[in-house]
Structure 1
């Protein structure tokens, strides 16, 4: 596996890679790299658990070009399985396909043993209900030979008489069922009408004989670059009936947004591939969430979507190439209203409507607009800094006087990618960690278990999931804890065993790693925090902090009154660890709060209240966008923020509650294990 001539295999979404001799089964490569790929049949092509999707074309992010012959041709086992049970287009069986040349291989969620926990649950919120799509019960005049009018015209007359609906329209699929429905209901029917905030004419979405009491539902979807989260919402009560999420399948084309733009640039038709992948994922998610809530998917009559600009363009089938270069022009920044089926949503009502919130600017999208709708910084008396943390972070700073916005390319490290023992949030992943500053010993908690690792019953409680790796919130806390325990200095260097007094600091070449958990003697994982991991987190947090500071500079302030952490990350990390790391500017800890999935909440507000759509369309025009890519001070702030928590900012509020030790592990020529002698100074 060390021969550089061997083919390179890159697995997504984990990012794990290695070189393997030609002819190595994909499943074997996955197991040797510790990739989470399921298989229960011993590689005989029976269970289908090891399905994978190879990617072809130019992957600049991974530095590899994948040719059509990167994997072996279909064999008889795959052919037989496809005939009997069916394989999705593009899928291969990992136990049968063998590596022939460099290849990028995506492991879909259903093929993962420890499936992703999409931590974007709906946040409880009081919303004034006035949805765009509502039910109306009417009694329609029967046809009369002496007054020759059509059934649709008499339905319109009834709606105007009983509900003051001025005008309606209906498409051909609705017209074809209108007459039998009216007669079955004995001229009493319930109609679902969609009223746009821009158009006085209402559209008939559905019609039922008599009184329909089955309810109406909508989907609020937060389409992120890493995950897609959906909330199935009752359009009468606003109640969230079910929340669900899946990984964004576009990860196989690139973990971050610019990688996907690059893929579209380098591969003709690459944008079409990514559009098809995400539309299929959303349609599948809609089916699954309806099944989970035990409702008829045909009762889902409206969809509201929020997403960043690159996702926005790829969802709409627009090539995102212009977003990859200055001046980062959007095809449209306005809200978009269209038929849901135009976005490939076939599982829900065939006449369902879709609404996409407006984008703020080329790198600040509809998801940031949704956060603004949810958190309302423009209505705040105090100066609020709102950070929606993700692969591409959106940042808002404002109060009643003005609101500023920017985006910051944090990358996928916060999601557990690019981390040596990193993984997505799934049962068995370390999500929280504490290091005793005296003994330097760790204790941790994993997803799926409420116990800490030093509590009685932990081993039994985690026997089924195991301890598999460390996810985004876990690595954030681990780095902050290393700093607080004096095992890592301000620059991010981990000390040696001799310098720190603990054998958990292990030499790895010229640097050191901290050993969190080791089950290698029983065939389990060895989980460490490496110097490379810390560097990845430093880069991510520096970009986040620099974006926030840039907005503060624009506003002319050195402090903010409060900080709101939004997104899945914000709900799963303590303000203390975020502050120690220097992800956010210094503030009193009681003024640092979590808003949960604020983008998803904003989508639900727009779904449940038609006036909110007009409001956010007005609001985004008043938000001032700051472009980090062309601001010289961004790089200055970024470099200073590489230190933990910061090179020059004093962080007085943090010092009150968590004074940090100040070791220095820069050996300046010493042996990395701490045993070398200093160079003799010339004198």
Structure 2
């Protein structure tokens, strides 16, 4: 019988192992980043893993309840003494019985993911929905039958011109003791709805309390969750952090998660539960790092794509997986934190979720529009938020268009043979000498290039572990520039390219970047399969942009803005060589950083911004790539590197792309073949 298939997330690495193989052994053989310091004796708990059960159509497996061996005595003892989270196993003790999908949580990874979604500087006119007000309330009186809440309302009306408030039961319970502790002087935290102007009592403190209150701006992505902790008076970002979205174990892309919900009863509830737990963990860690009381976090703003939007709210996303891709609601929402089980925050805190644009274009795209304001641009701007699902905006003062494009996780290092998420030791930059065909590279956590003195010593701690998204983009583009890759995406063999680094791998070839096997390290290559995965991802991205350009009636754009954490680390030149983005002068390509996160911060700090984006979203024209007949044509043409039909004159004026061909018959150009003339 065929050995069981083991699939590890978030790395995507997989392999077959005999029944009875410990999960830790399988992880080590596949090069999965799973920690262990006790030698597999079940003492250190570093190798905790989370198996997932049910049907995974994306992976083509069904995981049975008995896919791993039952809890053994070592795990039972550890659980009894130190405790294991629900569903967790020790990788050194759990053994493989049949096909299984196993998630390696962040705390079990030696090389933690670097969630590169730092806050960018932005001037914001402060107009927060939640603010503090000091009031002096009339004392209780035998001759006045009004309650404490009513007398608080009177004080707010007389002293702050605030008319009418509501109070949840949790705050009402503490109202009387707090008022009396402060001798009927108090500081209240009020949240004002930007639409109806009504005020809600979030918390109350005795006397004059000028301790800051805070808000969270959260970009809930399909791969990562990034949060900025902001002072609600000044707008200052006092902490930023991010974690992997634990839903990855149910599927790396959005449609895989929709499919998991369809195929597994209660699957949507599972995914909602784990993402809310992750948000609570992230909020608690941010509060701890900033040394503040988490109860002072009184408001949270979320931006997310439609599938994440529904799973956050506890809505089954099944309708988003089939035409007409209907949202349960596209409107903005204001909720209580407890509605989303956000118990790490102030229990009466408020949550605002930006509006979605359409079934596949979510609140994250609305946040990018709020941050970058294409509707105010005099020139034609193409704004691309690069991620597992790319959101694209094209517009100027006359019109704004939007679409989403299913790029998949390849840009983030998944589905790549030596790929990994961004973490210390991952190759993030690479150059290939067009004459010698030799590579040099940089890894996350080290500013030196691999051919510079001190590189080996500087990377001794992290090692060289794989290649992340920005690295694979540059690697493919550099292969093309160096003449090792032809326009169709074929890697030449050693004879055709003149370098032994191009190695035969079955019927195709691969390029060797780094070989540390002599020291027990990895062998990092770019394979033909890797090239194909990148071609598919970049073709979807470019085809989406071309559809918007068709609708706008243009063949060129004036400028390109790369948004998102990944977009911030992409080289503009390499992105254009690859054909990810339309041809423009390189100085017209800029990075907006985490624009979705910036939009979330703006909405957190400004009621006027919320009103503005709700109006803007209604004026954006949505293009549905899934039903556009020209999408496939654009997709096929975009498979070439950089493109089969679209000219790239700006690119070709600064970069020579060798005119080589490495077809399966082996006849094509030789190393250093004819070069395309400069435009």
TM-score of the pair, normalised by structure 1: 0.97
Match of 1:342 in 2: 339
Q: How much does 1:145 deviate?
A: 2.2
1:179 counterpart = 2:176 = yes
Q: How much does 1:144 deviate?
A: 2.3
Match of 2:544 in 1: 547
Q: How much does 1:529 deviate?
A: 0.5
Q: Distance in 1 between matches of 2:527 and 2:81?
A: 46
One of 41, 46, 51 as aligned partner of 1:49: 46
1:121 counterpart = 2:126 = no
Match of 1:418 in 2: 415
Report matched runs for 1:358-397 at 5 Å. Answer: 358-397=355-394
Q: How much does 1:147 deviate?
A: 2.4
Q: How much does 1:661 deviate?
A: 1.2
1:282 counterpart = 2:279 = yes
Match of 1:609 in 2: 606
One of 640, 646, 650 as aligned partner of 2:637: 640
Match of 2:447 in 1: 450
- Consecutive unaligned residues of structure 2, counting only runs of 5 or more, are 672-679
Match of 1:190 in 2: 187
1:516 counterpart = 2:513 = yes
Q: Distance in 1 between matches of 2:376 and 2:411?
A: 30
Match of 1:558 in 2: 555
Where 1:298 maps in the other structure, the secondary structure is helix
Q: More deviation in 38-47 or 145-154?
A: 145-154
Q: Distance in 1 between matches of 2:450 and 2:656?
A: 26
Contact 1:410 / 1:539 at 8 angstroms: preserved in 2? yes
One of 614, 623, 628 as aligned partner of 1:626: 623
TM-score of the pair, normalised by structure 2: 0.98
Match of 1:161 in 2: 158
Q: How much does 1:430 deviate?
A: 0.3
One of 67, 75, 83 as aligned partner of 2:72: 75
1:146 counterpart = 2:159 = no
Q: Distance in 2 between matches of 1:200 and 1:620?
A: 21
1:576 counterpart = 2:558 = no
One of 279, 294, 308 as aligned partner of 1:297: 294
Contact 2:660 / 2:670 at 8 angstroms: preserved in 1? no
Report matched runs for 1:202-281 at 5 Å. Answer: 202-281=199-278
Q: Distance in 2 between matches of 1:201 and 1:420?
A: 55
Match of 2:674 in 1: none
Report matched runs for 1:402-441 at 5 Å. Answer: 402-441=399-438
Given the superposition, is the C-alpha separation of residues 424 and 672 from structure 1 closer, same or farther in structure 2, using an over 3 Å criterion? farther
Match of 2:99 in 1: 102
Where 1:275 maps in the other structure, the secondary structure is helix
Q: More deviation in 250-259 or 659-668?
A: 659-668
Match of 2:677 in 1: none
Match of 1:655 in 2: 652
Contact 1:220 / 1:304 at 8 angstroms: preserved in 2? yes
Residues 209-257 of structure 1, C-alpha deviation per residue, up to 9 Å, x if partnerless?
Answer: 1111210000000000000000001101111111000000000000000
Contact 1:129 / 1:608 at 8 angstroms: preserved in 2? yes
Residues 2-40 of structure 1, C-alpha deviation per residue, up to 9 Å, x if partnerless?
Answer: xx6111111111111111111000000000011000000
Where 1:395 maps in the other structure, the secondary structure is strand
Where 1:159 maps in the other structure, the secondary structure is helix
Residues 513-540 of structure 1, C-alpha deviation per residue, up to 9 Å, x if partnerless?
Answer: 1110000011100000111000000000
- Consecutive unaligned residues of structure 1, counting only runs of 5 or more, are 675-683
Residues 272-311 of structure 1, C-alpha deviation per residue, up to 9 Å, x if partnerless?
Answer: 1111111111111110111111111000000000000000
Match of 1:492 in 2: 489
Q: More deviation in 153-162 or 592-601?
A: 153-162
Q: Distance in 2 between matches of 1:325 and 1:146?
A: 65
Q: Distance in 1 between matches of 2:3 and 2:558?
A: 56
Contact 1:507 / 1:673 at 8 angstroms: preserved in 2? no
Q: Distance in 2 between matches of 1:174 and 1:627?
A: 45
Where 1:314 maps in the other structure, the secondary structure is helix
Q: Distance in 1 between matches of 2:471 and 2:656?
A: 22
Residues 385-419 of structure 1, C-alpha deviation per residue, up to 9 Å, x if partnerless?
Answer: 00000000000000011100000000000010000
Over aligned residue pairs, what C-alpha RMSD do you find?
Answer: 1.2
Q: How much does 1:667 deviate?
A: 4.1
Match of 2:522 in 1: 525
Q: How much does 1:200 deviate?
A: 2.8
Q: How much does 1:673 deviate?
A: 12
Q: Distance in 2 between matches of 1:348 and 1:488?
A: 52
Contact 1:497 / 1:673 at 8 angstroms: preserved in 2? no
Given the superposition, is the C-alpha separation of residues 176 and 667 from structure 1 closer, same or farther in structure 2, using an over 3 Å criterion? closer
Residues 110-165 of structure 1, C-alpha deviation per residue, up to 9 Å, x if partnerless?
Answer: 10000100011111111110100000011111222222221111111111111110
Q: How much does 1:671 deviate?
A: 12
Where 1:657 maps in the other structure, the secondary structure is coil
Q: Distance in 1 between matches of 2:341 and 2:488?
A: 49
Match of 1:58 in 2: 55
Q: Distance in 2 between matches of 1:370 and 1:468?
A: 34
Q: Distance in 1 between matches of 2:356 and 2:210?
A: 37
Where 1:81 maps in the other structure, the secondary structure is helix
Contact 1:12 / 1:104 at 8 angstroms: preserved in 2? yes
Q: Distance in 2 between matches of 1:344 and 1:474?
A: 38
Given the superposition, is the C-alpha separation of residues 280 and 419 from structure 1 closer, same or farther in structure 2, using an over 3 Å criterion? same
Q: Distance in 2 between matches of 1:13 and 1:619?
A: 36
Q: How much does 1:201 deviate?
A: 2.2
The aligned length equals 671
Q: How much does 1:595 deviate?
A: 0.2
Q: More deviation in 173-182 or 116-125?
A: 173-182
Residues 317-363 of structure 1, C-alpha deviation per residue, up to 9 Å, x if partnerless?
Answer: 11101000000000000011111111111111000100110000000
Q: Distance in 1 between matches of 2:504 and 2:261?
A: 41
